[in-house]
Chains A and B, each alone.
Chain A
Amino acid sequence: MADFRLHSGGLIDRDRKISFTFDGRSYQGYHGDTLASALLANGVRLVGRSFKYHRPRGIYGLGGEEPNALVRLRQGARAEPNIRATQIELYEGLVARSQNNWPSLRWDAASALGLVSRFLPAGFYYKTFMWPRRLWPHYENFIRRMAGMGRSPEAPDPDHYEKCHGHCDVLVIGGGPAGLAAALTAAEGGAQVWLADEGAQLGGGCLNDGDASAARDTIAALESLDNVTLLRRTSVFGKYDDHLYGLVERTGDHLASPDLGMPRQRLWHLRAGRAVLASGAIERPLVFANNDRPGVMLTSAALGYLRTYAVRPGSRAVINTNNDSAYGAAAILAAGGIEVAAIVDHRHMKERREIPGAEILHNHAIIDTRGKKGLTGVTVAQLDINGDAVPGSERQLACDLLCLSGGFTPSVHLYSQAGGKLAFREDIQSLVPKSEVPGMTVVGAANGDFGESEFIAGGAAMDRPVSLRKFRRKQFIDLQNDVTAADVELAAREGYRSVEHVKRYTTLGMGTDQGKTSNLNGIAVLSDALDRPPAEVGVTTYRPPYTPVTIGALAGRDVGPFLAPDRRTPMQECHEKAGAAFVPAGLWQRPHYYPRPGETMTEAVNREVLAVRRNVGIVDVSTLGRIDLHGPDVAEFLNRVYINGFKALAVGMCRYGVMLRDDGMIFDDGTVARMAETHFIMTTTTANAGPVMAHLEFYLQVVWPELRVHMTSITDQWAVAAVAGPRSRDLLDSLDSDIAFANQAMPFMAWRGGAIGGIPAQVFRISFSGELAYEIAVPADYGPAMWEMLLAAGQEFDVNPYGTEALTTLRTEKGHFVMGPEADGRATADDMGLGAMLSSRKEFVGRRSLRLPGLAGGDRLHLVGLMPVDGRSQIPPGAILLDKEMAGRAPDKAGHVTTSVFSPSLDKPIALAMARNGRQRLGAQLWAHSPLDNRIVEVVITDPVFVDPMGERLRA
């Protein structure tokens, strides 16, 4: 195989040879190569198959603009699809595979059989395959298989990624001549400067087509300054509100695997005082038939391979141009040993430039190309006055490299993301920044100022035609998504006018390259088709990211167990040691039940419930929100946020309270204990601890700032266990304590402070289970000691620790609603049967809404109990309640099942439900129908309180 490497020059290190494989074959390159340059040096030109048509494709660009050369890099868990070969730095042992072909890259079945092309016109998703509709799933399956990109890895990524926050005065985006100069000026003025560039080497375009020595001096000067941070291999991919920039630094991508302790990539959230956008310009291709064969590439890319990597991308070149830059390029290519056969210039020029050995064809265009797996020649023709080919003027030229030079498109993505407006400049046929956006200055080629580079400067004297009207077949505009000029014209003929709609209909510019080489040509074709100037056609909105960012970098370390913080109660280890099964409750992991050896979940839960009903159980309730309130106005404040009164609550007593939102719906419930005249402790539900705090702060700060109340969340400072069951008092009495637990000394809803077994404690006689119960709160660090003490002392009373499942069964048996299933944000206190609690003597949040139509009247859903008529059938949770009288029509929904359990106390299934006018329908029989498992159970409406309706047990 021919060697295309030059013997000298370039930025590669010839002393460091590197072996790599592509599609299973071994090759050699040098340190400093990209996969693309190394493949070209080895004469590999065919590197992939195209997205829709499976056409052979080669290396087309030099960097992030590459539409064709997408490969699957690495193997196994580190495999990554759709990576641009032009941006993969070569390392020893690199393994890459081509994509989108079967059975092989050189012989692709879909392409050979022409399976796809005629089925996939513009908008194919919207028409061809939509009929007949029942076959769409098959079509879709077929399309997904044929028109796809690379495969994702199957195993979790073994590398880690990290996120950092940064701040600087000036962020310079792009390390070309303009960016380097801007960075040095800003740094010398004393600013903290960050400069980010996508490449491993700073210098930008002057590495490829100009004199890099000046850039090297500037880089050295910047490196010597303390106030400058240079980020290489770093893409600035997004500009967000208030000068926030998203950067991804590829710290380990150039290595086989990241160095020990180093992340694979690092995501920066950077706040910059201001930014200098020096992102340069990307060369535009010209459009003609079969302009996609391997061997066709951007002229700037060809120069880059020659100058940076010392690789000849071909032996005999034809350059197709519409501007002056091609002539300088031709001289550079010729000096690098590439025979320049011809320059095909669309323009009619009076003044002719000579390139030794090259034929200069003015007023000519390329109208077709030849070559199966690689370019072998082109057809040129003379242009007539309308820009069409003159019949009979066609000529064949042999070449293996076709360089396209259609002018330069400023990379204005980040400027546009910042809200900047674009103006069309006729002389460079491009969109350029119209005016400054706050905090961002656009400089150099990105601003349409091509003066910095001799090569790119030639891009300013150009002529209009980018494509030929009469030869629209397989004239590709977007090579990555296989969108042709004919597709864009078809969209226009079908009535699409807006460039945004044409984009979505044809998928133009929607690939991973985001149309870096295709957008402007698409606009030009659309402008011709619509007969409107390009400035009027406009451009689609630029959105982040500028270049693909891996999900790994965005996720950072927040994966697996670190996805969310893990909240652990002080007794968590006790529960783990006891072999509890856990269930997530928000960020908490709460014990679900405590299975004994050989027990099923049902058996364990039934045992725990019966232990509480017959003896005693203990449950960890440290997850409930706890808010400490101090101040002379706390009682008044509580009076205003709860539906019931709190002013008369005596010190030493607790009260249950229900909070509403101002729209009258139940917001939360809990108990409040009066610790002292001006000191209260409030509990909230586990899930609502944060929202209740914010709610109370809102009313204190915004609505009633005159109230003197200070609040602190103390959830994390306390460990709390509930001791529940008829023998709970016996258990507590058996402990060494200065607290009197007897009914007279500590009645229902009282609280007492003291010490239990030497541990300082607050004991609240409140009950959720309906049994005689005490909640014991101790400082968090004493939690495990308190828990173990209760278990040890409880042995003689057959104490059972119980989990949330038993808790649910116990509260369901008692008809207690909870936030979520019953109080779902649409329920009032009266709906829950708590109408009597609503104070009529005071104002409170939400009270006014209770008089609104719809809340005050009848026909509301009430909390009720349900029992199966047969006494055996489990009532499907979430089932819809239906009236039995159907009267020949679809029955009305009479409510829904909210909680369904098996009650060990009653030895039968029970449920809670929200039923329309349910309290007036006790005894009515309904169907409970679950469409999910298509079960229907006959149920009867009961009072929601199944156990101890008089509440004698908890007052015992």
Chain B
Amino acid sequence: MLLIDCPHCGPRAQTEFSYGGAANVARPPAPEETDDAAWIEYLYLRDNAKGQHDELWQHIFGCRRWLQLRRDVISHEIISCSELRRPLAEDGP
């Protein structure tokens, strides 16, 4: 079980968190002007590279903040855990 160092709450067990997908996929800022291929890429396609991943986790049994985690999927080592680099997408609709 991972130990996640929440920037607000301190080190907490993984069971307090919920995984929320890749953190390096930004929602296209203007969906209506996005073509089908780019929208499908955003919706469904993810790299599954060996090594370090940027992930979103929500501290659901804590501060409920969505956090950004850099994690090695081979060793499970957490390289960093921080508030989101905001905004992930550039602008809202």
Q: How many A-B residue pairs have CB under 8 A?
A: 73
**A697-B31 contact given A640-B93, A703-B89, A843-B93, CB 8 Å threshold:** no
- B39, A848: Cβ atoms under 8 Å? yes
Q: Which residues of chain A come closer than 8 Å to B34, judged between CB atoms?
A: 848
Q: Which residues of chain A come closer than 8 Å to B6, judged between CB atoms?
A: none
* Chain A interface, number of residues (Cβ within 8 angstroms): 29
User: Could you tell me the distance between the alpha carbons of A706 and B27 in the complex, rounded to whole angstroms?
Assistant: 15
Binds B, one of A110-118, A241-249, A674-682: A241-249
Q: Name the CB-closest residue of B to A842.
A: B93
User: Could you tell me the distance between the alpha carbons of A704 and B31 in the complex, rounded to whole angstroms?
Assistant: 14
**A694-B58 contact given A662-B43, A703-B87, A849-B43, CB 8 Å threshold:** yes
Q: Which residues of chain B come closer than 8 Å to A662, judged between CB atoms?
A: 27, 43
- A852, B18: Cβ atoms under 8 Å? no
- A242, B43: Cβ atoms under 8 Å? no
- A243, B39: Cβ atoms under 8 Å? no
- A702, B88: Cβ atoms under 8 Å? yes
**A698-B31 contact given A271-B3, A852-B36, A853-B36, CB 8 Å threshold:** no
- A243, B3: Cβ atoms under 8 Å? yes
- Asked if A346 is an interface residue, CB under 8 A from chain B, the answer is no
Kindly supply a per-residue 1/0 record for chain B positions 2-44, scoring 1 wherever the CB is within 8 Å of any chain A CB and 0 otherwise.
1100000000001000101000000110011010100110011
- A843, B66: Cβ atoms under 8 Å? no
Kindly supply a per-residue 1/0 record for chain A positions 674-713, scoring 1 wherever the CB is within 8 Å of any chain B CB and 0 otherwise.
0000000000000000100010011001111111000000
B1, B32, B44, B76 — which one has the most chain A CB atoms within 10 A of its CB? B1
- Asked if B56 is an interface residue, CB under 8 A from chain A, the answer is yes
Q: Which residues of chain A come closer than 8 Å to B89, judged between CB atoms?
A: 703
User: Could you tell me the distance between the alpha carbons of A621 and B28 in the complex, rounded to whole angstroms?
Assistant: 38
- Asked if A463 is an interface residue, CB under 8 A from chain B, the answer is no
- Asked if B79 is an interface residue, CB under 8 A from chain A, the answer is no
- A843, B32: Cβ atoms under 8 Å? yes
Q: Which residues of chain B come closer than 8 Å to A847, judged between CB atoms?
A: 31-32
Q: Which residues of chain A come closer than 8 Å to B27, judged between CB atoms?
A: 662, 703
Kindly supply a per-residue 1/0 record for chain B positions 41-81, scoring 1 wherever the CB is within 8 Å of any chain A CB and 0 otherwise.
00110000000000010101000111000000001101000
Q: Name the CB-closest residue of B to A694.
A: B58
Q: Which residues of chain B come closer than 8 Å to A848, judged between CB atoms?
A: 28, 31-32, 34, 39
Contact of B60 among A694, A706, A853 (CB under 8 A): A694
B50 → chain A closest CB, angstroms:
15
Q: Which residues of chain B come closer than 8 Å to A242, judged between CB atoms?
A: 1-3, 76, 78
Contact of A706 among B64, B75, B87 (CB under 8 A): B87
- B92, A241: Cβ atoms under 8 Å? no
Q: Which residues of chain B come closer than 8 Å to A705, judged between CB atoms?
A: 84, 86-87
- A697, B64: Cβ atoms under 8 Å? yes
- Asked if A419 is an interface residue, CB under 8 A from chain B, the answer is yes
- A419, B75: Cβ atoms under 8 Å? yes
User: Could you tell me the distance between the alpha carbons of A848 and B34 in the complex, rounded to whole angstroms?
Assistant: 8
Q: Which residues of chain B come closer than 8 Å to A243, judged between CB atoms?
A: 3
User: Could you tell me the distance between the alpha carbons of A707 and B64 in the complex, rounded to whole angstroms?
Assistant: 17
Q: Name the CB-closest residue of A to B39.
A: A848
User: Could you tell me the distance between the alpha carbons of A849 and B87 in the complex, rounded to whole angstroms?
Assistant: 22
Contact of B58 among A697, A706, A843, A853 (CB under 8 A): A697
Q: Name the CB-closest residue of A to B92.
A: A704
User: Could you tell me the distance between the alpha carbons of A849 and B38 in the complex, rounded to whole angstroms?
Assistant: 11
Q: Which residues of chain B come closer than 8 Å to A690, judged between CB atoms?
A: 60
Contact of A694 among B14, B18, B93 (CB under 8 A): B18
- Asked if A528 is an interface residue, CB under 8 A from chain B, the answer is no
Q: Which residues of chain B come closer than 8 Å to A240, judged between CB atoms?
A: 1
User: Could you tell me the distance between the alpha carbons of A704 and B88 in the complex, rounded to whole angstroms?
Assistant: 9
Q: Name the CB-closest residue of B to A843.
A: B93
- A703, B88: Cβ atoms under 8 Å? yes
Q: Which residues of chain B come closer than 8 Å to A851, judged between CB atoms?
A: 36
- Asked if A733 is an interface residue, CB under 8 A from chain B, the answer is no
- A698, B20: Cβ atoms under 8 Å? yes
User: Could you tell me the distance between the alpha carbons of A271 and B5 in the complex, rounded to whole angstroms?
Assistant: 14
- A241, B20: Cβ atoms under 8 Å? no
User: Could you tell me the distance between the alpha carbons of A690 and B60 in the complex, rounded to whole angstroms?
Assistant: 10
Q: Which residues of chain A come closer than 8 Å to B65, judged between CB atoms?
A: 701
- B1, A663: Cβ atoms under 8 Å? no
Within 8 A of B (CB), among A408-431: 419
User: Could you tell me the distance between the alpha carbons of A853 and B40 in the complex, rounded to whole angstroms?
Assistant: 11
Q: Which residues of chain A come closer than 8 Å to B2, judged between CB atoms?
A: 241-242
A269, A640, A703 — which one has the most chain B CB atoms within 10 A of its CB? A703
Contact of B31 among A271, A702, A843 (CB under 8 A): A843
Q: Name the CB-closest residue of A to B84.
A: A702
**A707-B92 contact given A701-B66, A701-B84, A852-B39, CB 8 Å threshold:** yes
User: Could you tell me the distance between the alpha carbons of A843 and B56 in the complex, rounded to whole angstroms?
Assistant: 24
Q: Name the CB-closest residue of B to A704.
A: B92
- A244, B60: Cβ atoms under 8 Å? no
Q: Which residues of chain A come closer than 8 Å to B18, judged between CB atoms?
A: 694
Q: Which residues of chain B come closer than 8 Å to A843, judged between CB atoms?
A: 31-32, 93
Q: Which residues of chain B come closer than 8 Å to A694, judged between CB atoms?
A: 18, 20, 58, 60
- B92, A706: Cβ atoms under 8 Å? yes
- B3, A852: Cβ atoms under 8 Å? no
B15 → chain A closest CB, angstroms:
10
Q: Name the CB-closest residue of A to B76.
A: A241
B39 → chain A closest CB, angstroms:
5
B80 → chain A closest CB, angstroms:
14
- B66, A702: Cβ atoms under 8 Å? yes
- A698, B92: Cβ atoms under 8 Å? no
A436 → chain B closest CB, angstroms:
15
Q: Which residues of chain A come closer than 8 Å to B84, judged between CB atoms?
A: 701-702, 705
User: Could you tell me the distance between the alpha carbons of A244 and B88 in the complex, rounded to whole angstroms?
Assistant: 33
Within 8 A of B (CB), among A248-284: 269, 271
User: Could you tell me the distance between the alpha carbons of A851 and B58 in the complex, rounded to whole angstroms?
Assistant: 31
A397 → chain B closest CB, angstroms:
54
A241, A244, A852 — which one has the most chain B CB atoms within 10 A of its CB? A241
A417 → chain B closest CB, angstroms:
13
B85 → chain A closest CB, angstroms:
10
User: Could you tell me the distance between the alpha carbons of A734 and B92 in the complex, rounded to whole angstroms?
Assistant: 50
Q: Name the CB-closest residue of A to B58.
A: A694
User: Could you tell me the distance between the alpha carbons of A62 and B75 in the complex, rounded to whole angstroms?
Assistant: 36
Q: Name the CB-closest residue of A to B40.
A: A852
Q: Name the CB-closest residue of B to A701.
A: B66
User: Could you tell me the distance between the alpha carbons of A705 and B89 in the complex, rounded to whole angstroms?
Assistant: 10
User: Could you tell me the distance between the alpha carbons of A703 and B88 in the complex, rounded to whole angstroms?
Assistant: 6
User: Could you tell me the distance between the alpha carbons of A707 and B87 in the complex, rounded to whole angstroms?
Assistant: 12
- A697, B66: Cβ atoms under 8 Å? yes
- B75, A698: Cβ atoms under 8 Å? no
Q: Which residues of chain B come closer than 8 Å to A241, judged between CB atoms?
A: 1-3, 14, 76
B67 → chain A closest CB, angstroms:
9
User: Could you tell me the distance between the alpha carbons of A848 and B33 in the complex, rounded to whole angstroms?
Assistant: 9
User: Could you tell me the distance between the alpha carbons of A736 and B92 in the complex, rounded to whole angstroms?
Assistant: 48
Q: Which residues of chain A come closer than 8 Å to B86, judged between CB atoms?
A: 702, 705
User: Could you tell me the distance between the alpha carbons of A640 and B36 in the complex, rounded to whole angstroms?
Assistant: 20
**A640-B66 contact given A697-B58, A848-B32, CB 8 Å threshold:** no
- A849, B60: Cβ atoms under 8 Å? no
A326 → chain B closest CB, angstroms:
43
Q: Name the CB-closest residue of A to B42.
A: A662
User: Could you tell me the distance between the alpha carbons of A240 and B34 in the complex, rounded to whole angstroms?
Assistant: 43
A647 → chain B closest CB, angstroms:
14
User: Could you tell me the distance between the alpha carbons of A244 and B2 in the complex, rounded to whole angstroms?
Assistant: 8
B82 → chain A closest CB, angstroms:
13
A271, A705, A706 — which one has the most chain B CB atoms within 10 A of its CB? A705
- B39, A698: Cβ atoms under 8 Å? no
Q: Which residues of chain A come closer than 8 Å to B43, judged between CB atoms?
A: 662-663, 849
Q: A242-B2, A701-B66 are in contact. List 7 more A-B contacts (CB 8 A).
A: A663-B43, A694-B18, A694-B20, A694-B60, A843-B31, A848-B28, A852-B40
Q: What are the 8 A-B residue pairs with the smallest beta carbon separation, nearest first? A: A843-B93, A848-B31, A242-B3, A704-B92, A701-B66, A241-B76, A705-B86, A241-B2
**18 A-B pairs in the complex with CB atoms less than 8 angstroms apart:** A240-B1, A241-B76, A242-B3, A242-B78, A269-B1, A640-B93, A663-B43, A663-B44, A694-B20, A698-B66, A702-B66, A702-B86, A703-B87, A843-B93, A847-B32, A851-B36, A852-B39, A852-B40
